[in-house]
Amino acid sequence: MIARTIERDVSAIVQEAVEKHGAKRDALIPILSDVNKALGYIPAEAFQEVQKQLNAEEEHTYVSKSQLFGLASFYDMLSTKPRGRHVVKFCENAPCHVVGGKSVWDTLSDRLDLKNGETTADKKWTLVTTSCLGLCSVGPVVLIDDDLYGNVTPDQIDEILARYE
Amino acid sequence: MLQITINGKQIEVPEGTTVLRAAEKAGINIPRLCDHKELTPYGGCRLCIVEVQGVRVPMASCTLPVSNGMVVNTETEALKKSRKFILSMLFSERNHFCPFCQVSGGDCELQNAAYHEEMTHWPIQPGWNNFVVDTSHPYFVLDNNRCILCRRCVRACAEMAGNFTLSVAERGAKSLVVADTDVPLGESTCIKCGSCVQVCPTGAIIDKTSAYQMHDKDLTEVKSICTGCSVGCSIKLMVRDNRIIRIEGGWHGSVNHGVLCEHGRYDPMNESRKRITTPLMKKDGKLEPVSWNEALKAVADQLRPLSGQKDGIAAIVSTKLPAETLTAFKDLFAHNEIVTTTEEGMPTASVTKFAEKQGSFEGKLDVLSNADTVLCIGVDAGRTHMVAGFMFKRNMPKGTRLINIDPEENELNDLANLYLKPKAGSDLALILGLQAVIVKEGLGRSPLALPDTDSLIQKAVEETGISRDQLTQTARVLANSITPVILFGKGITAQRDENLVEELYNLAVLVGAVDSERLGLLSLKGEANSLTATLLGLDQIFELNGHKAVFVALGDDYVSRSFVERVSKVSYLVVQASYESKLTAQADVVLPVTVWSEQEGHYINLDGRVQKTQKVFSAPENVRDNLAVLNELATRMNISLESNWKQAILARKSSVALN
Amino acid sequence: MQTKRAMILVSNDPESVRLGANELIQHLTEALIAYDLQDEVEISPLSNVGVSNILPLVAVYPEATVYGPVKAEDARFLVEEHLYKGRIANDLLAPPKHLSGNIGWLRAHKGYNPAEQRIVLERAGRIDPENIEEFIAENGYQALGKALTETTPEQVIETIEKSGLQGRGGAGFPTGRKWKFVRMAKGEKKYIICNADESEPGTFKDRIVLEGDPHTILEAMAIAGYALGADEGYIYIRGEYGLAYRRLQHAIEQAEEYGFLGKDIFETGFNFHIHLHTGAGAYVCGEETALIESIEGKRGEPRARPPYPVTHGLWNKPTLVNNVETLANIPAIIRNGAEWYRSFGTPSSPGTKVYTIMGNVNFTGVIEVPMGITLREVINIYAKGMKPGSILRMAQTGGSSGSIIPASLQDTPMDFESFRKAGVSLGSGALLICDQNTCIVDLVKVLLQFFRFESCGKCTPCRVGTQRAYEIVARISQGQGRLEDLDTLISLGQEMERAANCGLGQTAAVPIRDMLKHFRTETEAHILLGSCPAGKCEMLPEVEHV
């Protein structure tokens, strides 16, 4: 149940992340993760800012925009395209599948009227499949923003979705 | 040295050699796609897998270091089967429509590899997904449908040009090559050096200009030197029918190792000026075609009596011409006061002057390869002499830092870790200020006597407009570097003040850029033969004082408007040039001459390397060689041209050792 | 049916019978009646125990205490002591060393599942993970103190080597040997990395340790640092494990406060700092060189090997990469010794393993038992049987690239040797138990989807192979397959195993191999009959092949 404020100053968000994690190469993923968390995704300006702030004298860590983009687009938790206010991630792997995952997915897809990877026109929901979330004994598992739902059945979907603005 | 047996053949290789290179040394060719001899090995295509005794599964030979006593087999039945399968997988991955592709039929390494394995078709159905074709770039097309994700282009952009524009985005089967944050290539940070095109094994990145012109095997290759600037990159020209189809960076080049900048690769292809095809002479205010004999006779008759007279002839030659031509030119006009170049020694005079006192003090380009800090002052290495800029840009991810000092807007400012914008003309104060900070804080590597460091610092702050903090920070960063290099250019040398050069030298010694083991100080000079010209003494400013005649040997060089204004008022103007220009329009006589690819000659690049261009084409019918024209004139003017360029250049001490 | 509070299992295989098992059972029955326990305690025969030198064998549940050899005249003593007075009849206890084969049955702690021996999970769930004092009270940091003050680094490594501990992330490399390689590697600067990227589907054992007992990992890493000569460590934790990250962060702060991390630990001059690093959602980053690339701020593409991380790892320095579960064994081994550790498990795979139970069974979750358990024991004892209406059809053991075995292989002990010997993977210990409603083709399709999504894309065989294999199996599941497809799948699998750059590509085709080896008829039914025997796959209308 996290609302994202996209209007915030990109430069300030990046600065906060850089100050928190440092300006070295091993801070790149944590920095990008923070930016993704604050903005819901990582816009082009953010990559520019990260490059600029890391290259500033003190640490002079040089990393190009293309390397940052290649990095961000590699990892599933980071998005280079805007996402809905609420991101619904459904575990599509075998342990969740074997205990009835497909019917949960069909229900989600039907209720939100979204195919995998799509965002609703009003930008409220994005629906994606994801890989194992590490809760395999209580599958099927659904992750909405930071909220984990286990032992999900199709008839619970409406009530779960209703919790989000 | 380590022993390795490949296919029964035993050889010895130095430690660190990969199995692929060892095989090459043994004369065995292992098929490969992602590997390129000038790029760091990647190990992605897996075509180069070999069987190693004692190891259960095959290993990629391009990334496998040789270990002593290794026994390797490259041609087992299982490996051949694997290679075929890997190639089938590659063909099935994207839309490889060979019939429509211009590299098909010999220039595609993927297709060649398949033929080598005696494949005739694709056994596995592709997925027929559509990928991006990006035609936004002026010079090349990026077609992801033909890409095999070998990452050669990404590595070339990083390791050759140091520009890091290209990368691979997404992962798995969704991977694709992108520019910057996935923007069209034509709108990206690409500097159009063309390194990616040169290394792409398929038709994924293709050169628009040379596409569909002919297969490489049917083109003639000529190795030569680029005359675009004083870096002197080696080039390989692919020619047919008396024209250039494509220019590539020469992998063999000791200066550039295969990389070129946009100017070297594409400017000659974009030549839009009009060629002069016959001698011209002004008659009744209009330039008319005349014969060579008439033109040369007229010029000789005009210039003979003026030769040696005060305010008689002013002779100006382009520094883009070969050493032989420059030497002949000097001899021809030796008796006259004004004999100089179009550059008027701007990039070199003060440097050579200082060398007279100091001896050779400049280093070689390869000192940039292991610099931990590069200070650029009075030079924009992102705009001119770009290949020199590549040499340190590519090390920036490893920690090399860049300090940029330029009163004007500089292309490398965004890249620089520190950049200073001092007021124009305040360089001496700035350099002294930096010295003063270092001496005051005791950070110098060698002693330097500086009176009153406080007032020097104060003066620097006042004259440059740079804050004390910035000055101090810059000085500290420079002084704390272990292998600093100072790179300077026309911004400094155009001030024609050898004291400025000397203080820069003192700064270099102070911070350890210059010591008994390394010379980490170099100037980028200007055009292809700037250094040669200055060594021949052709580096003064010219000022016309009612001179009766001006002779300009321009070759294929450009002229600026101010230059034209300065010389055109004279009563008799002779121009020896290849292309029409505002200058030739003003001339009394125009002598058409060869361009760079039509003549051979020697060039000395900015770090003292003597290289030679090749004559690739014959000149058009009525056009003559630059040197030949001067020789002809000399005969008619009864002047003997005796100097040999090799001796002539030794007349002055070179700022950088010649080899 | 009345539930009894205890059960006595007595071995009655031919050898036990020869040694008097039937008389023993009779005497036990009589003893129970004598103490009026017949309605509370059940006696049951047990065939094929798998041991031969301590027969007859008696096991008492729920404590899973194993007695043997037990003679008929001992029956009364046993019943009186154990079932009446509630004390262990020590004299009759079976010596642990003599138990091998299926399960090493040992005295279990109260509240655990039968035969559980919690080493890795010794504190998880019982202590407050955010309170270092509770950790210390339960032998916390004792091993570190012992290592730093009583043993040399070489001795520490020797202990680990002797214990026979093998990597618990799935690869099973001998831990002591890895430690030795790093110690011997040239260079002043070395790193210790804890691989907490746990992304293998069906595996969340590491999460339990990180969330429930974070200090044990810090202790293990510090011990490793001491033994290998490293002063810096990283814990690479997958981005989705937010709670674990916070608990580790808190634990590090507390440990530094108490002087167990940081400078001059235990006043021995030894320094050790630990950094926390998050992943961002990539299964391939569990591969040790991809993990290192990820820490270095790059795409998680596995490096070319050799050289290996033990000589050229993080920032090209010698680096130890160990899984969470592997590390969680270290303090206990240091405290109790290598011999103690070897007393559990099988000779080739000593120690315990944390198995994860999932699927169509009654109890799903995590158990820690000595190495060598069989699937049958897991289902019947720990998972409390298949769900009502479910019959065991197949099980995938070891994770998504693990073997898919039919019910006929459920008696194979699962350890590091079982894959090589019998084609039954141990892997990460994940056990996905499937009933008759599971279709093998559908399952393999889901597994291949995982691999093609997680493939890093560096090498051709995996990047293209997983994609093509998925497409083929998807087509088969829709009834659009052809028999030639099976040959193509075999070729894809073979070449992926031969030529891929890392374990992901090399093992992604194992499920395909098992599909064709154990379930070929079912697969062919999809192709030849256009039908799914399990009723799971949605067949598309028939396409005419021209």
pLDDT at C99: 45
Answer for the pair B4, B13: CB distance below 8 angstroms, yes or no: yes
Task: Tell me the residue range of the domain where C20 lies.
Answer: 1-114
C271 and C184 within one domain: yes
Chain B nearest CA to C278, separation (Å): 19
CATH number at residue C137: 3.40.50.11540
A67 touches chain B (CB under 8 A): yes
Q: Is residue C68 part of a domain?
A: yes
pLDDT band at C417, cuts 50/70/90? confident
Segment B180-203 mean pLDDT: 97
Q: Is residue C546 part of a domain?
A: no
Is residue C1 assigned to a domain? yes
Which residue in the set B47, B49, B172 is minimally distant from C457, CB to CB? B172
Do A17 and A58 share a domain, yes or no? yes
Instruction: Give the three-state DSSP class for C192.
Output: strand
* Chain centroid to CA B142: 24
- Are A22 and A48 part of one and the same domain? yes
B299: tokens are 């010029």
Question: A90 and A70 in one domain?
Answer: no
Q: Is the pLDDT of residue A135 over 80?
A: yes
Total H helices, total E strands in chain A: 7, 4
Cite the DSSP H helix spans in C72-213.
75-78, 132-137, 142-150, 153-163, 175-184, 205-212
- 8 Å CB contact of C443 and A25: no
For residues C180 and C320, what is the distance between their CA atoms, to the nearest angstrom? 10
User: Are C302 and C295 within 8 A, CB to CB?
Assistant: no
Looking at the complex, does the CB of residue C465 fall below 8 Å from at least one CB of chain B?
yes
Could you give the number of structural domains in chain C?
4
Measured CA distances, C512 to A27, C403, C427, C446 (Å): 39, 9, 17, 12
**Cα angle value B192/B193/B197 (rounded, 5°):** 90
| pLDDT the model gives residue C108 | 36
Same domain for C319 and C421, yes or no, is no
pLDDT digits 0-9 by tens, B30-63: 999 999 999 999 999 999 999 999 999 999 999 9
Please report the ipTM that was assigned to this predicted complex: 0.93
Q: Is residue C545 part of a domain?
A: no
A70 part of contact set with chain B, CB < 8 Å: yes
CA-nearest of B160, B86, B106 to B387 is B160
Q: Are residues A64 and A99 in the same domain?
A: no
* DSSP per-residue string spanning C132-158: HHHHHHTTTTHHHHHHHHH--HHHHHH
- Put simply, whether A63 touches C (Cβ < 8 Å) is yes
For residue C79, is it within any domain?
yes
pLDDT digits 0-9 by tens, B261-276:
999 999 999 999 999 9
Same domain flag for C385 and C463 = no
Please check whether residues C379 and C431 belong to one and the same domain: yes
User: Do C144 and C201 belong together in one domain?
Assistant: yes
Q: What integer is the mean pLDDT of A140-149?
A: 91
The total number of structural domains in chain A stands at 2
Q: What is the mean pLDDT of the segment spanning B338-358?
A: 95
CATH topology of domain B349-523: Dimethylsulfoxide Reductase; domain 2 (3.40.228)
In B, minimum Cα distance to C505 occurs at: B172
Instruction: Write out pLDDT tens, residues C378-410.
Output: 888 888 889 999 999 999 999 999 999 999 888
DSSP state of B589: E
Joined tokens for residue C72: 């008929």
| Alpha-carbon distances, residue C311 vs A122, B512, C298 (angstroms) | 53, 34, 20
Q: CB–CB of B92 and C468 under 8 A?
A: yes
Domain boundary among C341, C357, C377: C341
Per-residue model confidence as pLDDT tens digits over B94-111: 999 899 899 999 999 999
pLDDT at A95: 93
Considering only CB atoms, A65 lies closest to which of B170, B181, B417, namely B181
Residue A143: its pLDDT value, please? 92
> DSSP labels for C300-362?
-PPPPSSSPTTTS-GGGS-EEEEEHHHHHHHHHHHHH-HHHHHTSB-SSSBSEEEEEEEESBS
Secondary structure E strands in C337-452: 352-359, 365-370, 392-397, 403-406, 430-435
Q: Do B181 and A55 touch (CB under 8 A)?
A: no
Kindly report the nearest CA distance between residue A9 and chain C, in angstroms.
23
B280-346+533-651 CATH fold: Rossmann fold (3.40.50)
**Confidence category of residue C115, pLDDT binned at 50, 70, 90:** low
Whether the per-residue pLDDT at C111 is higher than 50: the answer is no
Same structural domain, C368 and C475: no
A79 found inside a domain: no
Which chain B positions have a beta carbon within 8 Å of C463's beta carbon? 93, 149, 172-173, 175
Interchain pair B172, C491: CB under 8 A: no
Regarding whether C302 and C194 lie in a shared domain, the answer is: yes
The Cα–Cα gap between C341 and C327 comes to 14
Cα nearest neighbour of A132 on chain C: C201
- A-chain residues near C453 (CB < 8 A): 131
A115 interfaces chain B, CB cutoff of 8 Å: no
Tell me the average pLDDT across C528-536.
Answer: 91
In-domain check, residue C98: yes
Same domain assignment for residues C270 and C166: yes
The mean pLDDT of C28-42, rounded to a whole number, is 90
First-to-last alpha carbon distance for chain B, in angstroms, is: 32
pLDDT grade, residue C278 (50/70/90)?
Answer: very high
**Confidence category of residue C107, pLDDT binned at 50, 70, 90:** very low
CA of A49: how far to CAs of A9, A13, A59, B165, B393, in Å?
Answer: 11, 10, 15, 16, 20
Q: Are residues C222 and C250 in the same domain?
A: yes
Does the global pTM surpass 0.80? yes
Per domain, the residue ranges of chain B are 2-75, 221-270, 280-346+533-651, 349-523
List phi, psi (to 5°) of B338. Answer: -100, 105
Average pLDDT value for residue range B273-301: 96
Task: Scan for tokens 């980071």, then name that residue.
Answer: A78
Q: How far apart are CA C183 and CA B422, in angstroms?
A: 53
Tell me: pLDDT of B582 over 70. Answer: yes
Residues C143 and C262 in one domain: yes
Tokens 């290598």: give the residue.
C338
Asked if pLDDT for residue C104 goes beyond 60, the answer is: no
The answer to whether residue C255 sits within a structural domain is yes
C155 and C84 both lie in a single domain: no
Q: What is the predicted pLDDT for the residue at B34?
A: 97
**Tens-place pLDDT, residues A90-102:** 999 999 999 999 9
Shared-domain flag, residues C399 and C524: no
- Does domain B2-75 sit in CATH 3.90.226.10? no
Average pLDDT, chain B: 95
Residues of B with CB under 8 A from a CB of C: 41-47, 49, 57-58, 60, 63-65, 78, 82, 85-86, 89-90, 92-93, 124, 127, 148-149, 168, 170-175
- Is there a contact between B171 and C506 if contact means CB atoms under 8 Å apart? no
Question: What pLDDT, on a 0 to 100 scale, did the predictor assign at position B499?
Answer: 94
**Which residue among C299, C306, C499 places its CB closest to the CB of B82?**
C499
Q: Is the pLDDT of residue B69 over 50?
A: yes
Helix, strand, coil content of chain B in percent (nearest 5): 35, 20, 45
Chain B closest-CA separation from residue C282 CA (Å): 10
What fold is seen in the domain B221-270? N-terminal domain of TfIIb (2.20.25)
Q: Is residue C163 part of a domain?
A: yes
Of C313, C341, C369, the last residue of a domain is C341
Q: How many interchain CB pairs under 8 A, A with C?
A: 125
Provide the 8-state DSSP code for B558.
Answer: -
Identify the domain containing residue A97 by its residue range.
86-161
In chain C, count of helices (H) and strands (E)? 21, 14
Q: B45–C459: do the CB atoms touch at under 8 Å? A: yes
Whole-number Å distance between alpha carbons of C507 and C504: 6
Residue C101 pLDDT class (50, 70, 90 cuts): very low
Report yes or no: B253 and B276 within 8 Å, Cβ to Cβ: no
At C134-145, the pLDDT tens digits run 999 999 999 999
**Residue among C471, C403, C468, C440 at smallest CA distance from C202:** C403
What is the mean pLDDT of the segment spanning B406-419? 91
